[in-house]
C-alpha cells in the first residue's frame, strides 16, 4: 500500500487553512504543517520534507506574490517537491512563471475549486505524482492569450480543446470522456499536436509537459 501523501499548507487565512487541514486529514493525507507566511513555509519544508506544498500566491507582508516567490525558490532547492498554487484570482503570469522550466509536479487552482472536494483532491494527488493540474478557468484565459502565437494558431479547434485539457493535467482517457470522443481519437489529436508544435520523440523530454509549456509560453 502506498504511503499517504505528505502535505504542507501555506495560507494566511486561518479559516481556510484550518478547513484545508481537516479536509485533507479526513481523506487520509498527512498534513506536516499549516503556516501563514512564506518564511514559515520555508522552515516547515526544511524540517518536514513534505511531498506537496499548497501555497497561496498572495501572503504577508505585502500580499502580492510572496507565495509565488517562495514556491519558485522551493522548486529550485527541493527537487521533487510538488507545488499546488492557490489564488483568489486568475493570475496567468504567475502560472507561466512557475511553469517556465518544468511543468511536472505543478498545479494552479482558484480557491473556489476547493468547494469541489473530489476535483481538489484529484489535483493534489496528480501534482504529488509529478503531474500537472491547472484550473480550467486559468487554462481558458491562457488559451485566449495564446491565440496570437503562430505555433498554437496552427492547431485545429479540436486540437486546442485537447491541449487545454492536457494543460489541466488530464489523461487521454479523461480527455476522451470530457470531449465525448474515443481514446483512439484523442491519441491521434495528441500526435498531431506534437507534430504541429515541432515536438519530436525524445528519450529525455516528456512531450505532454513540453506541449503544455509551449502553450503557456505562447
**91 touches 134 (CB < 8 A):** no
Cell of 150: 503562430
> What is the reported pLDDT for 7?
97
124 and 108 in contact (C-beta within 8 Å)? no
DSSP-assigned letter for residue 47: H
Where does the pLDDT of residue 198 fall: very low under 50, low under 70, confident under 90, or very high at 90 and above?
A: confident
CA 95 from centroid of its chain's CA atoms: 8
Grid cell 483532491 — which residue? Answer: 121
Provide the pLDDT for residue 113. Answer: 77
Say what the pLDDT of residue 125 is: 93
All cell numbers assigned to 134: 491547472
Query: Domains of the chain (ranges plus CATH)?
Result: 6-134 (3.40.50.2300), 139-217 (1.10.10.10)
Which of 15, 18, 57 is CA-nearest to residue 37?
57
The more confident residue out of 99 and 145 is: 99
Exposed e or buried b per residue across 64-74, where buried means at least 16 C-beta atoms within 10 angstroms of its C-beta: ebbbbebbbeb
* % of residues, the chain, pLDDT over 90: 41
**pLDDT tens digits for range 156-177:** 999 989 988 888 778 899 999 9
pLDDT digits (tens, 9 = 90+) for 91-136: 666 666 776 666 778 888 888 877 788 889 999 999 999 888 888 7
Amino acid at each position: 500500500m502506498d504511503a499517504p501523501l505528505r502535505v504542507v499548507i501555506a495560507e494566511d487565512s486561518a479559516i481556510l487553512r484550518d478547513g484545508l487541514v481537516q479536509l485533507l486529514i479526513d481523506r487520509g493525507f498527512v498534513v506536516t504543517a499549516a503556516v501563514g507566511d512564506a518564511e514559515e513555509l520555508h522552515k516547515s519544508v526544511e524540517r518536514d520534507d513534505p511531498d506537496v506544498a499548497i501555497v497561496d500566491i498572495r501572503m504577508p507582508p505585502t500580499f502580492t506574490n510572496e507565495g509565488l516567490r517562495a514556491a519558485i525558490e522551493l522548486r529550485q532547492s527541493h527537487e521533487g517537491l510538488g507545488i499546488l498554487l492557490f489564488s483568489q484570482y486568475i493570475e496567468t503570469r504567475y502560472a507561466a512563471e512557475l511553469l517556465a522550466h518544468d511543468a511536472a509536479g505543478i498545479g494552479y487552482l482558484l480557491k473556489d475549486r476547493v468547494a469541489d472536494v473530489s476535483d481538489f483532491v484529484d489535483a493534489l494527488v496528480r501534482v504529488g505524482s509529478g503531474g500537472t493540474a491547472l484550473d480550467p478557468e486559468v487554462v481558458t484565459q491562457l488559451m485566449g492569450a495564446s491565440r496570437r502565437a503562430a505555433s498554437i494558431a496552427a492547431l485545429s479547434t479540436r486540437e486546442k480543446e485537447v491541449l487545454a485539457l492536457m494543460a489541466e493535467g488530464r489523461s487521454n482517457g479523461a480527455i476522451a470522456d470530457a470531449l465525448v470522443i474515443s481514446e483512439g481519437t484523442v491519441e491521434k489529436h495528441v500526435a498531431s499536436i506534437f507534430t504541429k508544435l515541432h515536438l519530436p520523440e525524445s528519450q529525455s523530454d516528456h512531450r505532454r509537459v513540453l506541449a503544455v509549456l509551449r502553450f503557456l509560453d505562447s
